[in-house]
Amino acid sequence: MRIVLFTGKGGVGKTTTASATALRLADRGVKTLLLSTDTAHSLADALDVALTGEPAEVTPGLWAAQLDTQRRFEAAWQQVQAYLADLLAHGGVDPVTADELTVLPGLEEVLALLAVRDLAGAGNWDAVVVDCAPTAETLRLLALPEALGWYLDKVFPAQRRLARGMRPIAALLGRDRAHGAIPSDSVFDALARLADDLADVRWLLADPGTTSVRLVLTPEAVVTAEARRTFTALALYGYAVDMVVANRVFPAGEDAWRQGWAAAQQRQLAAVRESFAGIAVRELPYRAAEPVGAAALREVADALYGELPGADPVPVLATGELLRVDLEGSDFVLSMPLPLAEPGAVEAARAGDDLVVTVGGSRRVLALPNALRRCAVVGGDFDGTRLQVRFRPDPEGGTAHSDE
């Protein structure tokens, strides 16, 4: 079973490429489910068919659904939400506003991923293709299982004990004054169940033998910058990014306007290849019209995966660990594979929030993880396959070179 997630900035072509990929899989005889975690529900528009919350076969071998997160949302989160609403109301927030405030951003997305897990686990499909919501949202929710799990493991048992101890006191104070302030056991249980579910999702999505993420971008500076930050974050969380799709590439043209755009895009594409060295970067031309409907999407798939019927659009690519940061004393050591580099002098320098690494003539530009942006580069080492860069906390930030 394979799960492929498509993510990227708003409007870059996630829904289009996810649909094209799913269609290609189905055409090759792989039983495929195409899902959207995006509440905007544009799958139906891209495929040009009507969809519901339940998977329905839209073309031989391809099932699609637009997840109805609202329904799951109600069941899973009701107790917790009621508690939070109570708490806010207790603090003087009016009930309607309180209700609004307890809708946590990104939570619907998380619940959509729970649905992905359930459907993937049902065993009815060989591949599940997921059209995710734009970058920031997806990232937050992908990080959430670990964050929430940690929180529940470490903080909640203590809070729960505390709450148990406080309940008799609250009873003495009277219901009015203590109302809502102390969570009941059912709230803790609901949170614990949610954490378990999320850990499950996380396990499934971080398994490189099952799941990979494809970053969609358009060759523009702003979009590329965001894709690079997304890549860093995904790599840090251990998600396998196995492809970058550069969409809406202008063909070269005669007139100055077209030539200007084509040249600017080519510069961006060069930067994209530097940023994602070692990962397949596929280009999709800017088409004359919106690729809507199966015929047009099949053409997109051809451009993306080649016209050969045998070309597997979702091979399991053992990418290995893309990026890790270890703490050594007070230094951070960032290491990443540099598959295409030749051993030689390592030069690592900070440029703003990026790390620019040059090894034996190849350059790699990486958006730095947050914690490292406050550090200076104090050393670098390349053993032929892995690059290691040492960072030292530096209150002023800064740039340093290292030659070895």
Ligand X SMILES: Nc1ncnc2c1ncn2[C@@H]1O[C@H](COP(=O)(O)OP(=O)(O)OP(=O)(O)O)[C@@H](O)[C@H]1O
Q: List interacting residues with ligand X (CB under 6 A).
A: 8, 10-16, 38, 40, 42, 134, 247-248, 284, 286-287, 290-292
Which CB sits closer to ligand X, 281 or 333?
A: 281
Region binding Mg ion by CB under 5 A among candidate stretches 37-45, 198-206, 275-283, 295-303: 37-45
- The token pair at 174 is 């009277």
Q: Which option in ligand X, Mg ion, none does residue 359 bind, with CB closer than 5 to 8 A by kind? A: none
Closest Cα to residue 208, out of 314, 335, 320? 320
Separation between Cα atoms, residue 19 and residue 298, nearest integer Å: 9
Q: Which option in Mg ion, ligand X, none does residue 219 bind, with CB closer than 5 to 8 A by kind? A: none
Which CB sits closer to ligand X, 185 or 290?
A: 290
- Numbers of helices and strands, H then E, in the chain: 12, 15
Q: Please, what is the minimum distance in Å from the beta carbon of residue 32 to Mg ion?
A: 18
Q: Please, what is the minimum distance in Å from the beta carbon of residue 108 to ligand X?
A: 15
Which CB sits closer to ligand X, 14 or 202?
A: 14
Place of tokens 């800017």: 286
Q: Which option in ligand X, Mg ion, none does residue 61 bind, with CB closer than 5 to 8 A by kind? A: none
Q: Please, what is the minimum distance in Å from the beta carbon of residue 300 to ligand X?
A: 7
Q: Please, what is the minimum distance in Å from the beta carbon of residue 288 to ligand X?
A: 8
Q: Which option in ligand X, Mg ion, none does residue 265 bind, with CB closer than 5 to 8 A by kind? A: none
Which CB sits closer to ligand X, 305 or 332?
A: 305
Q: Please, what is the minimum distance in Å from the beta carbon of residue 55 to ligand X?
A: 20
Rounded to 5, what percent of the chain is helix, strand, coil? Answer: 45, 25, 30
Q: What is the DSSP string of 250-316?
A: PPP-SSHHHHHHHHHHHHHHHHHHHHTTTSEEEEEE--SS---SHHHHHHHHHHHH-S-TT--SS--
Q: Please, what is the minimum distance in Å from the beta carbon of residue 262 to ligand X?
A: 15
Region binding Mg ion by CB under 5 A among candidate stretches 7-15, 139-147, 196-204, 396-404: 7-15
- The token pair at 84 is 């939070």
Which CB sits closer to Mg ion, 141 or 198?
A: 141
- Contacts (Cβ under 8 Å, ≥6 apart) of 308: none
Taking CB under 5 A as the rule, does residue 15 contact Mg ion?
yes
- Tell me the residue nearest to Mg ion as measured from the CB: 15
Indicate if the alpha-carbon torsion angle 258, 259, 264, 268 is positive or negative.
positive
Q: Please, what is the minimum distance in Å from the beta carbon of residue 63 to Mg ion?
A: 18
Residues in the chain: 404
What's the CA dihedral at 161, 163, 169, 174 to 10 degrees? -160
Q: Which option in Mg ion, ligand X, none does residue 218 bind, with CB closer than 5 to 8 A by kind? A: none
What one-letter code names the amino acid at 35? Answer: L
- The token pair at 273 is 């290849």
Which CB sits closer to ligand X, 106 or 344?
A: 106
Query: Is the separation of the CB atoms in 218 and 247 below 8 Å?
Result: yes
The pattern of x and - marking residues 356 through 385 that bind Mg ion according to CB under 5 A reads: ------------------------------
Which CB sits closer to ligand X, 163 or 303?
A: 303
Query: Is the separation of the CB atoms in 317 and 213 below 8 Å?
Result: no
Q: Please, what is the minimum distance in Å from the beta carbon of residue 282 to ligand X?
A: 12
Which CB sits closer to ligand X, 8 or 55?
A: 8
Q: Tally the C-alpha atoms within 13 A of residue 250's C-alpha that lie toward its C-beta.
A: 19
Q: Please, what is the minimum distance in Å from the beta carbon of residue 221 to ligand X?
A: 18
Which CB sits closer to ligand X, 245 or 338?
A: 245
Query: Is the separation of the CB atoms in 188 and 100 below 8 Å?
Result: no
Separation between Cα atoms, residue 278 and residue 273, nearest integer Å: 9
Taking CB under 5 A as the rule, does residue 42 contact Mg ion?
yes
Q: Using DSSP bridges, classify how beta strands 127-131 and 32-36 pair: parallel, antiparallel or unpaired.
A: parallel
Q: Which option in Mg ion, ligand X, none does residue 12 bind, with CB closer than 5 to 8 A by kind? A: ligand X
Query: Is the separation of the CB atoms in 35 and 64 below 8 Å?
Result: yes
Taking CB under 5 A as the rule, does residue 210 contact Mg ion?
no
Q: Give the footprint of Mg ion on this chain (CB under 5 A).
A: 14-15, 42
